[in-house]
Structure formats: C-alpha cells, structure tokens
Amino acid sequence: MRKGENSVFTSEDATLEINRLFEKDSDELEWEPNKNQKFRLVIPPTVYPPREDTDLLARRLTSLGPGRGRKLLEIGCGTGALTILAASLGWQVSACDINPYAVAASRGNLEANMQKATIREGGVGPEKFPYQGQFDLIVWNLPYIPLDQVDSTLGPMEEAALIDTDYKGLALRLLNCVKNNDLLSKLGRILILGRPNSVPSQADFAIRKWDTLEFDDGEKLEINCLWRPYEKSAKNYVEITGSTNDDLLNFDGPVGTHISTSHQTSGRGRRDRTWKSIEQCYAGSWIVEIGKNINPGLIQLSGGLAVLKTVNDKRLNLKWPNDIMFENRKMSGVLVEGRTSNGNTKVVLGIGINLKSTDEILDFEISSLDEIVDLDHKEIDSKLNCNLSSLLESGSDLPPVDFEDIREEVLQHMKDFGSPNYNGKTYEDFGLSKYGELILGENTIDDGEEINWI
C-alpha cells in the first residue's frame, strides 16, 4: 500500500488484482450459523468469507428472534451470509457492498439458499447511499484494521473488505450516513462489529458493548449496539424551577424522562444541603429507574461517570461518592433520590454543573466547566443524556446494563484521584462493593464525609 496519498490505489491496481485473483477458482463452504441452519456459500476471490466475526454477528442476530417483516440493512454484505440468515429469520433485508463481486456472490448465494433480499452496489460514501427509507436494524461488520497498521501487500479489493480506509474511522462515516440519510427508524438499533473503541462517542447515539471475541494473537473484536438515547421519553428545558429532582419525583413519567434548567431556586445537595444555583449553572435530572431491587449506590456513581465521559478531560476526577473535581475544586455534584409508591421505587438522578466562573463568595472554592472546555448548556445536556442512556438505559432489545463494567471504570477514576484516609490510616489499595460502597480493608464505608482523599 502506498501511504500518505489521498487515493491509495488506482483503477489499474484493481484490474491487476482482479486478474491475479481470478486465476484462482471460487471457494465454496457450508456455513452453519446456528445448530438449526446451514447455508451453502460460493466465495469468489476478493470477497470476504464468513469468519468468526461473522459467526458472532450471526449469533447476536439469531438471539434477536424472528424478524417479523422488520427492515434490516446490512452494509458490506460480502458473500451475503448474514443477509441470507436474516432473510431466513423473517427480516426484510436490504444489503450493499462496494465490491461488485460481493454483490454478485450475495445475489447468487441468496438464490441458491432460496432466500430473498435486495442487494445493491455501494456503501457509506462518498457516493450517494444506495438506499432510501428507514431501517429497524442496521448491521455492519466493519473493516477493522486501521489504515496506519497496514504495512504493504493488500490489493484494493482485499483492502475494502479488511481495512478501515477512513482516517476518522468508518464507524463515524456510517453514523453520519445514517443521520444524513435518516436511515434509522424510530426505536431502531445499529450493530457495529469492530475493534474496541472503534465507534466514536457523540451525542446522537447511545452505545453499549454486547459481545466480544478474542483471537489467539490477542486481537479483540466486539459488537456494539447503538440507539437513540431514551427515545421514548420526554425531555424538557425550563428557564427556572425549584429543583429538577423535585420536579421529577412529583411527575408521573417513564424511565428516561428528563428535565434541565439554568436556574434552580431550591436546588438540593446531598445530606439535605442546599445546592446553590450560581449564575449560568447546569441542573438536570432524569428518572433512571422504576421498580424493585434498586442499587442507588451504583446509579449515583454512574451519574459521576456520565459527567466524566461528557467532559472527557483527564484532569477531571471523581471524588467518591458524588463529587466531580477539577484541580481539587468541585465542579459538579450528583444526587440520587427515590420515592416509593405501590411497592415500586422511582429513582431520580440529578446532576449539577458549574458552567461559568463566578465572583460570588461561596463557603468553599469551586471550579467551573469553562476552565476546561467550551460547551454550552444544550451541548452538555444532550451529551449527558446520551452517556446516561449508554450506562443505564435498559430494554429487552438492548445489551444488559453492565454494573460490573461501571464499577471498574469508576474505581479507576477514584484511584486516579488519590487514596482514601479513614480514621487516620491511608489505604493505597481499596475497592468498591457491588452496592458502590468504599471497601477499605475490613471496613465498608457508605458515607463520603468520613473520608479524606490524599
């Protein structure tokens, strides 16, 4: 591969590669994506055959149950393996591939396996996307080798199947294509298989890992599921209110219902303290759970994690259990409150952020977001909404909420902040219980006031 040029290969390169590869016959294999199904597939040269990554996606697709006529879009269909499986499960499938030989192979393989789908040549750009309309599920087994990790030798057709040819990542290009062409239906889902962290975080889609695959050489792949955050629930901005937590505790709405404001007149902090609204602050609350067996400790830590992910700056720290600190000054706080009626508890999570520096005299020195990054109320709000949904939203067609992952990530942030000192003893090594309590040797602590951080 010639690096550093805009166009890596010329069309002559493609012709040479095809001529060379077509000296070889097509392969054929029997693909068994699950115990009950087998498909015979012809694989012409240059077309990506079903491999373990295809099998992983196939298992996830099968687990979603019958398609019942819902619309599925497969990008980069290769031999058509997943398209054939999806069609056999009752999805109405549209698929595309930028390799014309893959398009031909998919069409032939569909017919040979007595399945129906629409296959077109094309992909996520720069040319016009080959389909219009909306899809309930969009699936892409992303070419996952980053451009800068390819030394040489691959031809253009092989490259298209294996290498992420976009310097910003093809996943981002896919998400832009989905947005620009309005391809995702209401409550639609996107499944992307790629290397860890290959899908950039942004405010439009919540994201959670669903499956992982590890090869002998240490290469890891994962399926991430993306969806529009808390899509079924109302979001509201009000210029002024008493307390956004109060508003939602008194409001009868579903999980995900959200309200934010720039001014609270009676904002609440932990331990019945007042949360003072400084000029141009951010205050937002969400109904994050309604039910039984609630784990408020980890929900509270998830709120802090959502703030850290939203600002995404290593200089921000989490001071257990609910303070977000910049240079040892508090920038943001999290408050989880619950109300139980008829045996069900409604949990409201509130986040307060100082957006701008203030001359007001306060009891302690605070920091503000404008010291770190330029984000306004609206941007912060939609990113927080997305990060909270990524961490906490649950649904039968979403990957399960992973509190274990959340706990580990939070613990790492706590360790970056320092070591807890309790009763005069400093603990270099500490942990978090499954309820989000601090574990210091034999002691389990649930109150941040008892700890000094060193």
The contact set with ligand BTN (CB under 6 A) reads 243-245, 264, 267-270, 273, 275, 283-285, 322-323, 333-335, 350-352
Closest CB to ligand BTN among residues 37, 382: 382
Closest CB to ligand BTN among residues 191, 347: 347
Nearest distance from C-beta of residue 304 to ligand BTN, angstroms: 10
Closest CB to ligand BTN among residues 139, 348: 348
Nearest distance from C-beta of residue 290 to ligand BTN, angstroms: 18
User: Which strands, in side-by-side order, build the sheet including 425-426?
Assistant: 425-426, 420-422, 452-453
Nearest distance from C-beta of residue 197 to ligand BTN, angstroms: 30
Closest CB to ligand BTN among residues 139, 305: 305
Question: Phi then psi for 6, rounded to 5 degrees?
Answer: -65, -50
Nearest distance from C-beta of residue 364 to ligand BTN, angstroms: 11
Nearest distance from C-beta of residue 373 to ligand BTN, angstroms: 19
Task: Compute the distance between CA of residue 96 and CA of residue 132 in angstroms, rounded to an integer.
Answer: 12
Buried b (16+ CB within 10 A) or exposed e, 427-436: beebebeeeb
Beta bridge partners of 324: 318, 332
Nearest distance from C-beta of residue 196 to ligand BTN, angstroms: 32
Segment 312-318 long-range contacts (CB within 8 Å, at least 24 positions apart): 312/201, 313/372, 313/373, 314/416, 315/372, 316/372, 317/413, 317/416, 317/417, 318/410, 318/413, 318/414, 318/417
Position of minimal CB gap to ligand BTN: 333
Closest CB to ligand BTN among residues 117, 308: 308
CB atoms within 10 A of CB 162: 14
- CB of 203 closer than 8 Å to CB of 379: yes
Instruction: Provide CB contacts within 8 A for 361, sequence distance 6+.
Output: none
Closest CB to ligand BTN among residues 107, 263: 263
